Structures are given as C-alpha cells and as structure tokens.
Amino acid sequence: MNLKYILGSIFTIPLLPLMYYHSKRIRARVPSLPEATGFSGHYGPTYKDSVNILVLGESTMAGVGVFTHDEGFAGHLAKALNTRLNIGIKWRVYAKSGYNASEVKSKILPLITQESPDLIVLGIGGNDAFELNSPRKWKKAVYEIISDLKSRFGNVPIVFANMPPIKEFPAFTKLIKFITGNLVEMLGKELTRVVSQFENVFYNSNVIVLEEWVDRLSLNESVSDFFSDGVHPSRLTYQVWANDLSDFLVQNTICKKFK
C-alpha cells in the first residue's frame, strides 16, 4: 500500500474536473508531432562485430520531437557508446507514442524480432503518470515487462532510463505539473524497488533537473530549449539525456563485456 498515493488521490479527486479542463487546454495548445523515422541504425567502423541494442518504450523512445531516430534518444545513445567504448553499435527502436507500461508489455514486446540483443533500454513512465495510474498497476506492468524480456533473452542487461521531468514541462499548468509530477516520482521509487528484485536489471534513478544540465554543461540554452513542443524533448534533450545514460552504463560496468 502506497500511503502517499492514497493521500494524493484523496486530494486529487475533487480537482479532477479542473484537471480535465486544464488537460483540454494543454492538448489544444500543444501540436501533434509525429514519431521519428528510421527505426534502426549503426555507428562504428565494423558492422559484423557490433553490439546490438534494443530501445523500447513510449513517445520519448519513439523520437517524438525530432525528425529521425538518428537525432533522437537511440541514435545519440549509440553515438555516445561508440565514442566511449570504441566499438560498433547497432540499434533498433520498438516504441509507440501514447503507450503506458501495460501497453508496452502487450503491444510492443511481441513485435521484437531480434533473437540475441546485447543490451535492452526502456523509457517509460510518462504516460502512466498522465493517466494517473496507480503505483500498484505500474509495478505489476514493469514486473511483467522484465519477466517477459528475461524469459526471452536470459540475462541480457536491462536498463530503465530516468523518469521524465514532468514538473518542468513548459506546456503544463501548475496544477498538472504538481499532480502528475509527484506521481511520476512515486512511480520512479516503485521502479527502484522492482529492479532490485532482478539480476542484471538497472534503473538510472537520478532526477532530471534541466537547470542542472545548463550549469553542468555550460549551455547557453534556456529550459524551454529542451522541449520541442512544451512536452516532448528537443534534439538537445535527447543528446544530453542519452549521453548521461551512456555515462550511467559505463560507470556501473554494465557495458564491461562489450569491450
């Protein structure tokens, strides 16, 4: 039982009509962007001996906000790992905008045709927060995703990317940021508990703070530059986010067998 979620639900229920109104305003203002094109790629001098990476998830992994996956999370992650490890990286994306964790399990995983990936990366959580799904429902779906992947691919490393920084979405009202932002943080804590039950499954639990990115990387951009439409990442965000995850992979020796 998640006491914080229960208390939050009690607080949220009277606000649901207002949240619905705010959500309609947000949808009216935010343009409908397509998913990125080009679902696979390769970086490195040799193709034959390259590491195979699967990237799974929701709209961020589907590359909403950029034209091609080469500009999105998968492409930038492959570039970063190629640079850090000096090895070839082959990547393939299986993702869909609007899918929650349960839908990733039931609709995305059956589409995977690769038989022997070397690394699986997932980016989920935003849609579960937008749908106000309970931590219990989320935890069950994540557990099933991991179990399914392990039954098919054995002890291949599975890595969950950071939860989306909903509290910083420019297009969201303060109310929507507060409700869904707090919920996505709860889901992140549940994800930490779930991955601890499995071997070779990891979660980068570092909370994304865009001002910290600006300061750390000495960028000239403002927070709004990290978004393509006030909700989805821009090319800059995909690049910084993927670079950070590649650091996480290397620092946690998840990629040690690739060298």
127-168 per-position pLDDT tens digit = 999 999 999 999 999 999 999 999 999 999 999 999 999 999
Query: How sure is the predictor about 104, in pLDDT bands with cuts at 50, 70 and 90?
Result: very high
pLDDT digits (tens, 9 = 90+) for 213-248: 999 988 888 888 999 998 999 999 999 999 999 999
Q: Which two tokens stand for residue 150?
A: 């392990």
Beta pairing partners, 160: 122, 203
Q: Are 232 and 224 in contact (CB under 8 A)?
A: no
The span from the CA of 35 to the CA of 58, in Å, is: 10
CA dist., res. 236 & res. 134, Å (int): 31
- What's this model's pTM, rounded to 2 decimal places? 0.91
Q: Confirm if 127 and 100 have CB atoms less than 8 A apart.
A: yes
Using DSSP bridges, classify how beta strands 40-43 and 89-95 pair: parallel, antiparallel or unpaired.
antiparallel
259 pLDDT higher than 80 = no
Q: How confident is the model at residue 58 (pLDDT cuts 50, 70, 90)?
A: very high
Residues 6+ apart with CB under 8 A from 128: 100, 101, 137, 138, 141, 184, 187
C-beta of residue 54 within 8 angstroms of C-beta of residue 92: yes
Q: Which residue has the higher pLDDT, 259 or 207?
A: 207
Q: Tell me the two tokens of residue 161.
A: 């990317």
Q: Give yes or no for a contact between 58 and 131, defined as CB atoms under 8 angstroms apart.
A: no
* Distance of alpha carbon 155 from alpha carbon 198, whole angstroms: 10
Identify the pLDDT of residue 3.
58
d(CA 167, CA 176): 8
In the chain, DSSP finds a helix count (H) and a strand count (E) of: 9, 6
9-18 LR contacts (CB < 8 Å, sep 24+): 12/132, 12/179, 15/175, 15/179, 18/175
Q: Mean pLDDT for the chain?
A: 89
Which pLDDT score, from 0 to 100, does residue 232 have? 93
Give the sign of the dihedral formed by CA 165, CA 170, CA 172, CA 178: positive
